[in-house]
Amino acid sequence: MVALASDHGGFELKNEIARYLAELNLPFKDFGTATNARAEYPKYGYLAAKAVSSGECDRGIIICGTGVGMSLAANKVKGIRCVNCTDCYTAMLSRQHNNTNMLALGGRVLGPDLAKLIVKIWLETEFERGGRHEQRVDMVMKIEAGNIDFL
Ligand code: RB5
């Protein structure tokens, strides 16, 4: 299950991505916003991030004007590794090396076709487990836990 959310700046792109996920037969849950009226990105970013953090959803895609505000809000939630992404290479590597579980997009930055390609690559790419990348992600999660034993 993919958690989906946007503010007003990402509302149109969120609708495009929702249609795309439906085309791919991928289940998603829309955490709002529900119209293009002005909305606060921390609220919607938090709702989607909380769903991923709790295990209700496996991954999350969150969209504001630039992707910045949404990624900042999501990355404050325990267990979240959110990438603000504008290119396919970063989409792939953020999965392979960083095991990102949320993807932030900019509705005012990306055209719909590039955004959909980024989403497809990000959803299909697996994390490279069992090596240096997993060790590094574990170190990042230790920072979150306040357990800095790797210095
Ligand atoms: C809203 O104007 C805009 O600030 C928001 O969508 C987002 O881009 C923030 O990072």
Q: What is the per-residue pLDDT for 37?
A: 98
Q: What is the pLDDT of residues 58-110, one digit of tens each?
A: 999 999 999 999 999 999 999 999 999 999 999 999 999 999 999 999 999 99
State if pTM tops 0.95.
yes
> Which tens digits make up the pLDDT trace of 97-150?
999 999 999 999 999 999 999 999 999 999 999 999 999 999 999 999 999 999
In the residue annotation, 57 being an active-site residue is answered as: no
- Distance between CA atoms of residues 146 and 38, nearest Å: 36
Q: State which of 38, 40, 63, 70 you would mutate to test the pocket of ligand 1, scoring each by most atoms of that ligand within 8 A of its C-beta.
A: 70
Chain-wide mean pLDDT for the chain? Answer: 98
Residue 121: the pLDDT is: 98
User: What beta strand segments (E) does 38-94 contain?
Assistant: 59-64, 82-84
Distance from Cα 66 to the centre of ligand 1, integer Å: 6
